Amino acid sequence: MSQEINAEFIQARVNLVQIIATHVTLSKSRFVLKGSCPFHPDDMNSFMVSPAKNIFKCFGCGQEGGPIEFIMAIENKNHEEVVKILGALI
Ligand SMILES: [Zn+2]
């Protein structure tokens, strides 16, 4: 069958900013995008996304990662499920 879609492949191919923008309003701040964290009550825009590195990090609650970790946390799914969902998009 087809070549296995793995986490590394998804990390490199899936646009994290696009995914996060459907859940969080992002505004530009120098080299990153900032917004209100979807994982904790946040009125300080602690949530950062780096388009260059394709990763996110919240400086309030410590949640961080790439496209897989974001979908796992926001949709409460496990790693295998998310790899399948994102693999189908690319
Ligand atoms: Zn947070």
Each residue's pLDDT tens digit, 11-62: 999 999 999 999 999 999 999 999 999 999 999 999 999 999 999 999 999 9
Domain count, the chain: 1
Cβ neighbours for 50, distance < 8 A, ≥ 6 positions apart: 31, 32, 33, 56, 57
CATH number of domain containing 25: 3.90.580.10
Confidence (pLDDT) at 89: 85
Query: Is it the case that residue 1 has pLDDT exceeding 50?
Result: no
* Ligand 1 (single-atom ion) residues, CB below 5 Å: 37, 39-40, 58, 60-61
Tell me, in angstroms, the distance from the centre of ligand 1 to residue 44's CA: 10
Query: Is it the case that residue 73 has pLDDT exceeding 80?
Result: yes
The domain containing residue 65 runs over which residues?
7-89
pTM, two decimals, is: 0.91
Tell me, in angstroms, the distance from the centre of ligand 1 to residue 80's CA: 24
